[in-house]
Amino acid sequence: MPLGLKRDEVRIVSHDKTWENEFQEVKKTLLKVASLEDHQIEHVGSTAIKDIHAKPVIDILVGIQSIDDDLTQVEKDLRRSGFYRLKVERPGEMVFARFTDESFESKTHYIHLTTYQGELWDNLIYFKNYLNENEEARKEYERLKLNFVAEKSEGIEEYTDMKEGFVNQVLSTKP
């Protein structure tokens, strides 16, 4: 199943077992090109959650010593790997994307660059693991997403906001 979503598009597809292989291929590239170690690169997001519908975009978490360091070399390495920094402003995170082609219309992968084992790192890993271990929560999360796309095919910010309550509820269970 082809990866990619256009700007502001919201589309959910059936789980595809090739998503994990795609993540592993990108991880191999990142390990060759960037000064990163295996434990600093994780598959997150819905494509990393077993058997649920997801947006056809691979989310990758990359942890570095500190998001406040000079990231010039990291940005160059990610660019050489086909990732471009987005103008997304989030505390403790830089976001990069890979696109289907040079038109930059359709994103296929995201990198969420953050401090390794910092709050965002821990939250994303916890959320993924929680859903993979809890079938009822996984199905509820999937229902939320499917209900949204049953009504709309655009509005990525609204889609993200819609999921926030559920995500916060899961994170509240974190020890």
Written as six digits, the tokens of 31 are 């390990």
Residue 88: the pLDDT is: 87
Residues near 68 by beta carbon (within 8 Å), at least 6 away in sequence: none
Question: Per-residue confidence of the chain (175 residues) as pLDDT tens digits?
Answer: 689 999 999 999 999 999 999 999 999 999 999 999 999 999 999 999 999 999 999 999 999 999 999 999 999 999 999 999 999 888 899 999 999 998 899 999 999 999 999 999 999 999 999 999 999 999 999 999 999 999 988 899 899 999 999 999 999 999 9
DSSP string, 39-80: GGEEEESGGGSTT--B-S-EEEEEEES-TTS--HHHHHHHHH
Residues near 50 by beta carbon (within 8 Å), at least 6 away in sequence: 15, 132, 138
Number of folded domains that form the chain: 1
Find the domain containing 121 and state its range.
Answer: 5-171
Do 144 and 159 touch, CB atoms closer than 8 A? no
Written as six digits, the tokens of 4 are 């990619």
Angstrom CA distances, 65 to 24, 68, 70, 78, 117, stand at: 22, 9, 11, 16, 9
Residue 1: the pLDDT is: 63
Identify the CATH number of the domain in which residue 87 sits.
3.30.460.10
